[in-house]
Structure 1
Amino acid sequence: MNKPIELIFVIFLAALAVISIQLMPVQVATPSSVLASIGKRSADSLVVTSAADSGPGTLRQALLSAQPGDTITFDASVFPPAAPVTINLTTPLPVLTRGNLTIDASNAGVVLDGSQLSGEDVHGLDISSDGNVVRGLEILNFPGAAVGLREGASGNVIEDNLLSGDGSFGVGVWGAETTGNTVRGNFIGTDRSGQTAGNLSRDGVHIYQAAQNTITGNLIAGVGQSGVYVCCGGAGNTVSNNTIGLAADGSTPLPNGQAGITIDQGAHDTVVGPQNVIAHNPIGVSVIGAGSVGNTITQNRIYSNTEGISLVEGGNDERTAPTIIGFNLSAGTIEGVTCAHCTVEVFSTAGEQGDVYEGQATSDSVGYFTLDAGGAFAGPHLTATATDATGNTSGFSRPTSGEQQGVDLQTGNTRPKTLIPTRSGSELAENYIGDQLGGLRTLIHTQNDADYILDYHERTGFKWTRLSLDVFDWSDVAEDPSLYSQQTVDPLYDQFITDLAEKGITIIYCLVFWDPEIEDPGTTGYSRFKTQDEIDRYLDYADFIVDHFK
């Protein structure tokens, strides 16, 4: 009985299928596994076998043929790793618009050369899609960027490439919608060895408006402007674990032309760190502009730059650096004052920046902080930075000097210390505090000297100062005959005196005259007014000073 039943069952199914086809010819029932595969294509591995610009087997053809999920590799027998072969391009490569494409030359030696191309928007690999990986290429001499990410390109990874040559940028990241990309492990701005500059004219990595991108583990050196430049509202980008301004050997200076890292024109909430090494640049990290705020600089090695951290024109709210009031190098302890509830990072340094990160502490409600590192500081000096609750990091504090320093205001008093707040003289209604500057010829040699004295007078609240062009003590003139009085005034001194007056500081000019025609008095001491000629020369100098400054 089983056999006839089975036969009828099969015939029934067949009949049902026939009826189904006749009644609904476009809706034949199909298993779900078959439906899932309809219209899909398995990922391909496309192998580049030609170094020509175009045609079968070329990179250009592979880019034209590739679909999402494909991988483009290079035949190592054509592109040997030990002797890289150049693909000289005469027209730009196709823009990567499909996404999820991997270009992997890590097992080969491939150089893309754009020296025959022109146009500032012509990039080596131009990416406007998501999820692409570019690995192991040497991309050189393109007029725009070696790799350009734009028009909302997101989630791309640019890793282990050499991005350099005679061009503008190593990597360009453009547009507010261009987010979540990673640039890691590349040599940017150098030659293949990492020891010599490669002639990029602008920035190693240039981020314009783009957000939430990560720049990590790269060597960025020898470029014309900034190693990394973030600008124009770019938000939440991270720059960590890079070597910026040094060659690949970690010791040879290979500075960038303007700064290691520049944050400019409203770029905000950037995180610089941890573990960047930023050295030998004109400025280590520069934050520029009132809208460029919330930029945190943390746990890096910043040293041997002309200036370590620069905050100008309102950058990072020009957060004030901490003041170190006590330390002991051998004990590994430090105390100081800063903004309330701020994070203080402490560094050892051979200069005035931050060579070695030593640890961090949080200040209390009045700004007092203390740190016990649990072992000796490296020294020989210490500096500190402060980061406030909104992420603004200050520049470096003034370095310490010596083995230890302490401020014991009252024996047995262990309560926290705090700075006495000061106000500028213009803010104090009744103030008779002043200063005695002395001779400007020995005090001020550069604009930086003048700016420092002006800032000091304003912060201290001085209402007046006593000064002279000439030094007050004969012993200084005896050691340096160039300090005899002269009827000339350096424009630097004129501007300094003007700036004092504009800050509301009363100037008391002390007339000092060292007569250059009086012979060296030796052990008898300086004296004058012995003859009418000496008196006349004094009066003539007095007339000059009065006429000049009246």
Structure 2
Amino acid sequence: MLHRAYHRFVRIALLAALTILWATMLTASVNATTWAPAAGWPQESATPGSLWLVNTIADSGTGSLRWALTNAAAGDRIEFAPAVFPPGNPARILVTSALPRIGVNGLTISAVGRGVILDGRNAPTGLETGMRIDGAAHVTIQGLQLTSFPKTGLLVTSASNTLIGGDRLVGQGNVISGNGGAAIELVGVGCTGNTTAGNLIGTDATGMTVLHNGAGIVIASEPRTT
């Protein structure tokens, strides 16, 4: 009787020891083989891009487009409050000085389904452009109207894979008209892979009234801009 109890105790103790050993080995194996992306691979940010809401027609101050452009970081999105910028009655932002250059990757500026006019009639005569994308990649600009700037409406310098416009039927196209220089100008080394699509150039938002720019789309860069 005692002999059987002893052997039963030994078997239970051995099984417990093997269980602990197996669990320890499994943990070590998992820790040793945990996958991590190689250096240089794109990694998901810990937090999604921020949304900056433009809720005033003022040219400066909190809630303005200038404020949003100043604070936006890579991967962020700038949109416009529908109550301030209704599509049926577009609101004008009278730009009085150069807006901050867009130099962060992956920024989206969307006025799709909104009525947003960037008006440069009060800008100084030497102002180079209404908006400028400078050396950034994967920037998207959709649904805006840029008009009455002394020179270029939208200037893209040494930027890559920019999307200006999109599907005009859903309001992604921009209206760029009545500017003293080119509507859109793409220049500089590395200015490649950019796309302009669905934009109204040299007309009003209906496409029926002519509002000439100094030129249409000017490409003075490397190839692969469509």
Report TM bin, short chain: 0.7 to 0.9
Q: 1:90 to 1:121 in 2, by over 3 A?
A: closer
Q: TM-score, normalised by structure 1?
A: 0.33
Matched, 1:91 2:97: yes
C-alpha distance in structure 2 between counterparts of 1:9 and 1:89, whole Å: 71
Query: Which residue, out of 180, 204, 220, partners 1:191?
Result: 204
Matched, 1:132 2:103: no
SS class of match (2:218) = strand
- 8 Å Cα contact 2:176/2:201 also seen in 1: yes
C-alpha distance in structure 2 between counterparts of 1:80 and 1:117, whole Å: 24
Deviations 1:466-504 (A, max 9, x none): xxxxxxxxxxxxxxxxxxxxxxxxxxxxxxxxxxxxxxx
SS class of match (1:61) = helix
What are the within-5 Å matches in structure 2 for residues 13-412 of structure 1? 40-120=46-126, 122-128=128-134, 129-150=136-157, 152-159=158-165, 160-200=173-213, 202-214=214-226
Tell me how far 1:37 sits from its aligned partner.
7.4
Deviations 1:416-463 (A, max 9, x none): xxxxxxxxxxxxxxxxxxxxxxxxxxxxxxxxxxxxxxxxxxxxxxxx
C-alpha distance in structure 2 between counterparts of 1:116 and 1:163, whole Å: 17
SS class of match (2:204) = coil
SS class of match (1:204) = strand
Tell me how far 1:186 sits from its aligned partner.
0.9
What letter is aligned with 1:90?
A: T
Q: Choose 1 or 2 for highest CA Rg.
A: 1
Tell me how far 1:113 sits from its aligned partner.
1.0
Tell me how far 1:70 sits from its aligned partner.
1.7
Tell me how far 1:78 sits from its aligned partner.
1.3
What letter is aligned with 2:115?
A: G
Deviations 1:386-445 (A, max 9, x none): xxxxxxxxxxxxxxxxxxxxxxxxxxxxxxxxxxxxxxxxxxxxxxxxxxxxxxxxxxxx
C-alpha distance in structure 1 between counterparts of 2:43 and 2:192, whole Å: 32
C-alpha distance in structure 2 between counterparts of 1:38 and 1:47, whole Å: 24
Q: TM-score, normalised by structure 2?
A: 0.75
What letter is aligned with 1:187?
A: L
Deviations 1:90-128 (A, max 9, x none): 221111111211111011100111122235562121002
What are the within-5 Å matches in structure 2 for residues 448-527 of structure 1? none
C-alpha distance in structure 1 between counterparts of 2:93 and 2:79, whole Å: 14
C-alpha distance in structure 2 between counterparts of 1:195 and 1:137, whole Å: 18
- 8 Å Cα contact 2:162/2:194 also seen in 1: yes
C-alpha distance in structure 1 between counterparts of 2:79 and 2:225, whole Å: 26
Q: 1:90 to 1:194 in 2, by over 3 A?
A: same
Query: How many residues were matched structurally?
Result: 198
- 8 Å Cα contact 1:51/1:87 also seen in 2: yes
Q: State percent identity of aligned pairs.
A: 33
Tell me how far 1:174 sits from its aligned partner.
1.3
Q: 1:126 to 1:154 in 2, by over 3 A?
A: same
- 8 Å Cα contact 2:99/2:131 also seen in 1: yes
SS class of match (2:129) = coil
C-alpha distance in structure 2 between counterparts of 1:196 and 1:38, whole Å: 46
Q: CA RMSD in A?
A: 3.2
Structure 1: segments with no counterpart, 5+ residues:
14-28, 215-550
SS class of match (1:107) = coil
Tell me how far 1:199 sits from its aligned partner.
3.7
C-alpha distance in structure 2 between counterparts of 1:102 and 1:90, whole Å: 23
Higher RCO (C-alpha under 8 Å, 6+ residues apart): 2
What letter is aligned with 2:140?
A: V
